[in-house]
């Protein structure tokens, strides 16, 4: 079962789509369960994950509360990957 994409009618400035993606905790567990079964992916600790989400939440590049305008990624997914870097130009913020 794939996570559902929730469509909104509010205007967005996403550079590659017209929809927004909002993931529930259940959907996040499903995504990471699939990733961990396929590859040996290391996940960040809850403390690191929370810190990264806080930084993303304060960043002016966060769109619709879910998407980074510099990479187009869903920040809740990227922040969970241990070795991921913030895609902010020139200097990673986390």
The backbone torsions φ and ψ at residue 11, rounded to the nearest 5 degrees and listed phi first, read: -65, 140
Which residue range is the domain that position 27 belongs to? 1-83
**Residue 88 domain-assigned?**
no
**Residue 12 domain-assigned?**
yes
Domains in the chain, number: 1
**Residue 89 domain-assigned?**
no
Radius of gyration of the chain (CA): 13
> Quick check: pTM over 0.85?
no
pLDDT of residue 19: 53
pLDDT in tens, 19-73: 556 677 787 777 777 666 667 778 899 999 999 999 999 999 998 888 899 988 8
**Residue 94 domain-assigned?**
no
Nearest to 69 by CA among 78, 38, 46, 44: 78
| Measured distance CA(12)–CA(87) in Å, rounded | 20
Confidence category of residue 1, pLDDT binned at 50, 70, 90 = very low
**Residue 69 domain-assigned?**
yes
**Residue 92 domain-assigned?**
no
């Amino acid at each position: 079962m794939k996570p559902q994409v929730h469509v909104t009618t509010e205007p967005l400035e996403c550079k590659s789509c017209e929809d927004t993606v909002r993931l529930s905790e259940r959907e996040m567990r499903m995504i990471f369960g699939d990733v961990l079964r396929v590859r040996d992916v290391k996940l960040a600790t809850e403390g690191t994950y929370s810190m990264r989400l806080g930084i993303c939440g304060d960043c002016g590049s966060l769109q619709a509360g879910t998407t980074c305008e510099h990479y187009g990624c869903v920040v809740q997914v990227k922040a969970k990957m241990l070795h991921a870097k913030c895609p902010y130009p020139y200097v990673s913020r986390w």
